[in-house]
Every structure is written in C-alpha cells, then in structure tokens.
Amino acid sequence: MRYRRLGKTGLMASEIGFGGEWLERHEESESVALIEYAYEKGINIIDCWMSDPKSRDIIGRAIRAYRDKWYVQGHIGSTYQNGQYVRSRDLKYVCPAFEDLLRRLDTDYIDLGMIHYIDTPEDWNDSMNGEYIEYVRELHDKGIIRHIGISTHNPEIGKLAAETGFIEMIMFSINPAFDMRPPTEDIDDLFVGYDNALSGIDMKRAELYRLCEERDVGITVMKPFFGGRLFNKEQSPFGVVFTPAQLIHYCLTRPGVSSVLCGYDTKEQIDAAVYYEDASDDEKDYASVIASAPLHSYSGQCTYCGHCKPCPMDIDIAMVNKFYDLAAAQATVPESVREHYKSLAHTASECIGCGGCETRCPFGVAVADRMAETAKLFGC
Ligand code: SF4
Ligand code: SF4
C-alpha cells in the first residue's frame, strides 16, 4: 500500500480507504471482519458519516485494537432521530450524536472532524456563522478532533471551504461521470482548454481540485464507483464499463486527492480495490475507456448514497431505488429482486409525494416520480 500526505493535516493516508456506509447491510461480525481484513491490506483511513448505532458499533469493535493506526473521519451533524439519519446543525442533536460517535468508537478523539455534508450556500452561511461552527472549533481547540474537514458534493462549497484556511481537508464525490461536462456530439469538445490531467472535466470541479492542491487542502474521495453504476454497461453514463483500478486511478490523478474511500461488501471487493497498488499502467488506463465511450449524462441517477433521508413514511429510498434499477435493467423482474423488494418494511406505493427527499438529494433525482414507477413495476 502506498500512502499519501492528506494536505496540511500531514496525515499519511492509504491511497485506498474505507467508506463505511455499507457496513450496516451485514451481520455485525461479518462487517467487523471486513474492516480487519482491510487493515491487514494496509488500509488506514475510514469514513463514518453514518449515525446509526450498528455501523458505529461495528467500526468501534473493528478498530479498537489498532485505534492509533487508523484515521477516522467522524461527522459532526450526522444525527440519529427516531431511528433515522438526520442531517442537523442544531446542537441539541449535534452534540449528543457526536458524543455517541466517540462512545461507540470507544475513543476520546477523532482524527478528522468532518463538517457534515454542506451542499448549498444557505447551509454554508448558516453553518459558518453560529453555534454549530463554534462547537466544531471548540472540539478542535480541545483536541477532541485533531483536524477539521468537510464533506460536500458541490465544488462551489468545496472552494469556499478550501479558502477558509482552517478547513484542512475535503471529502468530495469524484468519478469520471460526475466530473464530465454534459453530453456532446463530439468527444473532442471534452478535451479542449484543459491541461492533460484534467481533460474533459467540468471547469468548476477542475477549479476546486487546483485550489486544493494550491492551498494544501487534502481530498478524500467518496462515490468513486458511482454506486457501482460504472461497472455495468447498461447503467454506466458512458455506455462502457470501467474496472476498480481504472476508477481509483482516475480519482488519484485529480490534483489534491490523497485517498479513495470505496464501499465494500466482501473481502473480494477489498482485494479488487487494493489490486490497484500492483496494477500495470495499461490496467489503470481510464482515459482510453472514456475517449472511446459514447457519452451520456448522469444527472438524475441515484447513487444510493442515502442523503435524502428521512422520509416521513420511513421508506428506505436508496434501497427502493436500487431494487428499481436492478429490476428495470432486465427484461423481466427477477424473482429474487422481487422478493427482496417485497420484504422491505415500507415500499414505494406508500410514498405521499411530499418531495422532502428531492430537496436533500445532491444528484437531482426525481424521487417521487421514481417511487410511482417503482410501485407500478413491483405492484406495491
Ligand atoms: S417524496 Fe415520497 S419517498 Fe420522498 S420523502 Fe416524501 S414520501 Fe418519502
Ligand atoms: S435519491 Fe438522491 S439522495 Fe437519495 S439515495 Fe438516491 S442519490 Fe442519494
């Protein structure tokens, strides 16, 4: 495993990291074993944006023996209310949720205290002026968080963060699909006016990466595989598939990027990501894949990130969307998918179309419309 300096934090983070959001899908012991396996492979950075007790307990159990060897991204403002994740800046919820994180991780410090998920200028202004940011600074002053970071999907917010001087690193969503411009008839349009490393990338995102490099603000990557969509020809916005090594290389060749936090369900998936470290230049070559791809837009496609929670009807929107995508990609709905879908506590037909989820979705997914389509497809 190679390690990269994470900007001005000075921490040496493994190029391949661990995104924790899939941990709750498995038995606790299975997920603990997965993190331990990652550690054996040299992975030393893990993100815990999740507020649910199970995910936090799993991470706590898995890293306890090697706490000082792990760098934990712990999110401030990821709260758990009435059994659901809720993003909040209200200290009434924020403080207990962060204390819960420390307790469940069985630690008295968090390496990277993340200002959790800001995507709008309004949220940025509110968060940066008031008790929320004072709390973050207080945690930092007391050494409870060693460094201040932020998570965002919006390059404009990332740029504001990089310019503050006190935010030392950014967790940002990067993959070739997110980075590309809207569709064009001529692939050459995507390669004009940028330096080679940033060919075809959207200007605002390119500016963010350059600014981070310039200001020594480290970047860790979330959603490097576009929720697995880039491994599937039908779902890939490019109409072609990539390998994990190609996608990891894409991320690691953006300026400022130190570590790519992949989500894992199995040890084989960890192996596939860590294989990057030994891959040849040909195996890592994403550019030829992109250049030969028929380009499409990704806008409006669900990455199963879960940021649209909470739903007043308790619908697990990410799971419903995932089952919909799995079913819709095939001529007939596979029985196994139908069964899994039907075993959900709440299905798409319960959607009341309130639209709350759509205001929170960073990818502009028309959730209410998809719920209606899903209910029609599965009949409930
Ligand atoms: S639109 Fe439907 S899925 Fe979205 S939050 Fe409202 S009820 Fe839930
Ligand atoms: S609808 Fe949007 S916020 Fe919700 S899981 Fe999908 S991409 Fe994430």
> Is residue 357 lining ligand 1, measured as CB closer than 6 Å?
yes
- Asked if 201 and 340 sit in the same domain, the reply is no
Which of 120-129, 139-148, 152-161, 286-295 shows the lowest per-residue confidence on average (mean pLDDT)? 286-295
Q: Is residue 230 within 8 Å of residue 301, measured between CB atoms?
A: no
Quick one: 149 and 195 in the same domain? yes
Say which CATH number the domain at 29 has: 3.20.20.100
Q: Whose CA is nearest to atom 2 of ligand 2?
A: 361
The CA-CA-CA angle for residues 202, 205, 208, to 5°, reads 150
305 belongs to a structural domain: no
Distance (Å) from CA 311 to ligand 1 centroid: 5
Whether 312 is covered by a domain: the verdict is no
Report which ligand 1 atom has the smallest distance to the Cα of 348.
Answer: 3
Instruction: Please indicate, yes or no, if residue 307 is contained in any of the structural domains.
Output: no
Are 164 and 77 in a shared domain? Answer: yes
pLDDT in tens, 121-137: 999 999 999 999 999 99
Q: Return the residue matching tokens 């759509």.
A: 358
Q: Is residue 368 part of a domain?
A: yes
Ligand 1 in reach of 362 Cβ (< 6 A): no
- Residues 286 and 357 occupy one common structural domain: no
Give a yes or no: residue 296 inside a domain.
no
Range of the domain at 239: 3-291
pLDDT (0 to 100) of residue 366: 93
Ligand 2, CB within 6 Å, residue ranges: 302-308, 317-318, 321, 361, 363, 365, 367
In a domain, 148, yes or no: yes
Closest C-alpha residue for ligand 2 atom 6: 302
Per the domain annotation, does 140 fall within a domain? yes
Same domain flag for 235 and 111: yes
Task: For residues 330 and 241, state if they share a domain.
Answer: no
Per-residue tokens: 57 = 């307990």
Residues 164-193: what's their mean pLDDT? 67
pLDDT tens for each residue of 80-124: 999 999 999 999 999 999 999 999 999 999 999 999 999 889 999
**pLDDT of the residue at 291:** 67
In total, how many domains does the chain have? 2
Question: How far apart are the CA of 112 and the centre of ligand 2, in A?
Answer: 25
| Judgement on whether residues 246 and 151 belong to the same structural domain of the protein | yes
The Cα-based distances of 150 to 17, 38, 161, 314 in angstroms read 17, 24, 8, 28
Global model pTM greater than 0.85: no
**Judgement on whether residues 114 and 152 belong to the same structural domain of the protein:** yes
pLDDT 10s digits, 23-50? 988 899 999 999 999 999 999 999 999 9
Same domain, 140 and 196: yes
Find where tokens 């204390």 sit: 99
Final residue before a domain boundary, out of 274, 291, 308: 291
> What residues contact residue 193 under an 8 Å CB cut-off, 6+ apart?
none
Same domain assignment for residues 210 and 168: yes
Specify if 251 maps to a domain.
yes
Judgement on whether residues 266 and 351 belong to the same structural domain of the protein:
no
Does 358 or 188 have the greater pLDDT score? 358
Same domain, residue pair 333 and 251:
no
